[in-house]
Amino acid sequence: MNQKDIDTQKIVDNIKESIEEREILLKELKEKYPIEDFVTYNEFNVSDRLKLLPMKIYDFQFLLNKEKARLEDLTDAADKINAELYDYYRFNYEKNLSPVEIKDYYLKNDSRMITINKYINKQKYTVAYFEGCLKALEKMSWTIKDFIKAMNS
């Protein structure tokens, strides 16, 4: 294999690893914060679900806010690293680089930016999970109302 083939294989391996990490993360979130059983109801447990629904919405809203704050912290850290790297490449690097070259070729490929961007992407998936849970709970409240109306008719 030549160097281009090896480099391409590394890229493919990194993509596969990233996909596997996302699947593991979502599986862990589903196990730690299960929602599927709760949003499933029938005529025997609908009143229990209805009683618990506001607290579930509150809990998942709290978790979402917490995870969004973590995402903001990571984004702030990435911005700081980005600024430090830009300053280094613009004023202390041995090559005379334009701002576009720095942004497009150097910052994206720096190991610190790659690492923090992995954390940011992981955190984005966590936030998306909790957003999905909240949407399911909010939709559940409407479908329960319709379910009760249909039962009373």
Question: In the predicted model, what is the mean pLDDT of the chain?
Answer: 90
Confidence check: pLDDT of 43 > 70: yes
Residue range 55-100, pLDDT digits in tens? 999 999 999 999 999 999 999 999 999 999 999 999 988 888 888 9
pLDDT of residue 62: 98
pLDDT at 121 over 90: yes
Average pLDDT, integer, range 104-108: 89
pLDDT tens string 20-31: 999 999 999 999
> What is the H or E stretch that residue 47 is in?
helix 46-91
- What is 5-42 written as a DSSP string? HHHHHHHHHHHHHHHHHHHHHHHHHHHHS--HHHH---
